[in-house]
Amino acid sequence: MNGIGGRTIAEAQERMSVTEYQMWILYRQKYGGLNPVMRTEWGAALVSSVIANINRDKKTPAFSLTDFAPHIGGDKEKEELSLEEAKRHWA
């Protein structure tokens, strides 16, 4: 947990209150995970999409952030699979 709440998961579970845990959940839902590589990818994708939209032809549809960030998906990737669908997919 990167030193948040303790040095180990067990220590964090002992020290972190339910209120603090709920605050972290809200933070992650709003801003995403704490992975620095994903944050860097998001920033690079943001800059790339702005530059591409400034320089695109007016007839070309606008670029989105997800066009330049392969690991940041839209709603399609966030859909949950049922247990049966997952078994078919992974088997």
The pair of structure tokens assigned to 1 is 């947990």
The pair of structure tokens assigned to 88 is 């078919």
Predicted TM-score (pTM) of this structure = 0.52
From first to last of its 91 residues, the chain has per-residue pLDDT tens of 455 555 777 887 788 888 988 998 888 888 777 778 888 888 999 999 999 999 999 999 999 988 998 877 655 545 676 778 877 877 6
In the chain, where are the structural domains located? 1-34, 35-91
State how far the Cα of 87 lies from the Cα of 91, in Å rounded to an integer: 6
Task: Judge whether 72 and 42 are in contact, CB under 8 Å.
Answer: yes
Alpha helices in the chain, H assignment, sequence order:
9-15, 18-31, 36-55, 75-78, 83-90
